[in-house]
């Protein structure tokens, strides 16, 4: 069992919103290729290269630095997400009725978490 790495789209959003944590993995925009790097932080990477943390690291960064918590919800139709303020639980948005499959949900926990991370990043002001 391995932890899921974020997608290129999410890596771009993370960099745009100020993610600059150490990561051993990077992803290149030109070919989508994953590599390991000695630079390890977004600010030190060349143009077109992005830090590629695991989904759990990205979610933790959002929780601890942007005060956004992503919860994954499971029901009979599949998985969804909910975004709330980490410090007081104030509901912000949910992805329960969004998505491409019949129930408006995602088929796996990781798919719902990826979309939840992307949507939370869109809420972050630069």
Q: Over the stretch 32-49, which tens digit does the pLDDT of each residue have?
A: 788 888 768 999 898 999
Residue 38 confidence (pLDDT): 79
Element (H or E) spanning 112, and its range? helix 109-123
Residue ranges per structural domain of the chain: 8-53, 62-123
Residue 85 has pLDDT above 50, yes or no: yes
pTM of the model: 0.88
Output the 3-class SS for 56-101.
HHHHHHHHHHCCEEEEEEEECCEEEEEEEECCCCCEEEECCCCCCC
């Amino acid at each position: 069992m391995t932890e899921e790495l974020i997608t290129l789209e999410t890596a771009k959003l993370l960099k745009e919103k100020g993610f600059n944590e150490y990561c051993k993995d990077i992803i290149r925009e030109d070919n989508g290729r994953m590599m390991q790097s000695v630079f390890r932080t977004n600010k030190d990477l060349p143009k077109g290269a992005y830090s590629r943390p695991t989904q759990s690291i990205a979610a933790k960064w959002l929780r601890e630095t942007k005060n956004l918590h992503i919860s994954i919800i499971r029901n009979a139709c599949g998985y969804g997400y909910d975004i709330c303020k980490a410090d007081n639980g104030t509901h912000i948005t949910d992805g329960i009725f969004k998505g491409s499959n019949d129930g408006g949900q995602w088929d796996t926990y990781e798919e719902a978490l990826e979309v939840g991370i992307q949507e939370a990043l869109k809420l972050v002001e630069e």
